[in-house]
Amino acid sequence: RLASGSFDKTASVFLLEKDRLGRSPGIGRAGGVKENNYRGHGDSVDQLCWHPSNPDLFVTASGDKTIRIWDVRTTKCIATVNTKGENINICWSPDGQTIAVGNKDDVVTFIDAKTHRSKAEEQFKFEVNEISWNNDNNMFFLTNGNGCINILRQVPMAAGYPELKPIQSINAHPSNCICIKFDPMGKYFATGSADALVSLWDVDELVCVRCFSRLDWPVRTLSFSHDGKMLASASEDHFIDIAEVETGEKLWEVQCESPTFTVAWHPKRPLLAFACDDKDGKYDSSREAGTVKLFGLP
């Protein structure tokens, strides 16, 4: 399944065809059947993510000051959690127990995925961009407006939620550090910045291994392939860069007609989903078109 969130206040879930990507009668632009629309949010759905191990659950973050957990089996919202601000970033911990959500006021709230109650919240004194746990689930990473990667360690408490203690701040980029992704193998993480660079970091050593510099605009989205061998990055450039992680060499360039908002590799196949800032048709350049596209490597 492939899920997308939209400015139109809804989320959509597509079922991909198993054998091919092409369109056929009744098949949508994404090469799959649109399974369902998920309505309920009162503002744009700015980000979403799937549960790390349960393929039936996903969570959405919205500007309406709520997050919602959805079950694709019933197509219903199973929980709505009120938060203090307009939510823009969300991630699910690798153990599935906690959802972290960041808002426009640089507050990150940690929500218990079972009780749907807020466990803790952290107010940061800088612009918080993307947030993520490491694969081992014991450290929490965030990218900030000063070009830094902030790392917090979960310190167990006698009772209640582990406290997050800042352990390191890495000066990663000379300008705004926008996005962060961990590779599925647990060897690297990558960050993208307003300086148009993607930097690759060794998880254990916390040193920058290499940089990818083929984009000209701020890097707004990253994704590692399922085997950790490829890294897709995108920006307002009219192409998506696909790099070989170990060498930094360009493997492919996916052409787009407009800036790309988000990229995501399939969890098991060399298949990349992406969404762009599309305009609907040649004659109506004012109307936004919400299109999810797929690119498959041979």
> pLDDT digits over 263-272, tens only?
999 999 999 9
Top-confidence residue, 285 or 161: 161
1 Cβ contact partners less than 8 Å away, ≥ 6 residues apart: 13, 14, 15, 16, 35, 55, 72
E strand intervals along 235-286: 239-244, 250-255, 260-265, 271-276, 278-279
Q: Is the pLDDT of residue 55 over 50?
A: yes
| Predicted pLDDT of residue 32 | 62
Q: Is the pLDDT of residue 152 over 50?
A: yes
CA angle, residues 203, 148, 235, in degrees to nearest 5? 90
Helix (H, G, I), strand (E, B) or coil at 79: strand
Mean pLDDT value across the chain? 90
Q: Is the pLDDT of residue 75 over 70?
A: yes
Ranges of H-type helices in the chain: none
Q: At 139, list the tokens.
A: 């450290």
pTM of the model: 0.91
pLDDT one-digit tens code per residue, 84-129: 999 999 999 999 999 999 999 999 999 999 999 998 999 999 999 9
- Per-residue burial over 255-277, b if 16 or more Cβ lie within 10 Å, else e, is ebeebbebbbbbeeebbbbbbbe
Q: Which of 26-40, 99-113, 181-195, 245-259 has the lowest mean pLDDT?
A: 26-40
Ramachandran class of 170: left when φ > 0, alpha when ψ lies in -120 to 50, beta otherwise: beta
DSSP code string of 183-215: -TTSSEEEEEETTS-EEEEETTT--EEEEE---
| Predicted pLDDT of residue 286 | 62
Please state, as a whole number, how many other Cβ atoms lie within 10 Å of the Cβ of residue 94.
17
284 Cβ contact partners less than 8 Å away, ≥ 6 residues apart: none
| Predicted pLDDT of residue 30 | 47
Q: At 246, list the tokens.
A: 């170990």
Q: Tell me the pLDDT band of 181, cut-offs 50, 70 and 90.
A: very high
Helix (H, G, I), strand (E, B) or coil at 234: strand
Q: At 42, list the tokens.
A: 């009162």
Cα dihedral 59/60/66/69 (nearest 10): -30
Maximum pairwise Cα distance, the chain: 63
Top-confidence residue, 209 or 27: 209
Q: At 101, list the tokens.
A: 């959500």
| Predicted pLDDT of residue 20 | 44
Domain regions of the chain by residue span: 2-39+124-296
- The residue behind tokens 């952290």 is 122
CA atoms within 13 A on the CB side of 57: 16
Nearest to 214 by CA among 198, 193, 192: 198
Q: What is the mean pLDDT of residues 158-167?
A: 79
Q: Tell me the pLDDT band of 298, cut-offs 50, 70 and 90.
A: low
Q: Please tell me the CATH superfamily of domain 2-39+124-296, with its number.
A: YVTN repeat-like/Quinoprotein amine dehydrogenase (2.130.10.10)
Q: Is the pLDDT of residue 68 over 50?
A: yes
Q: What is the mean pLDDT of residues 28-36?
A: 62
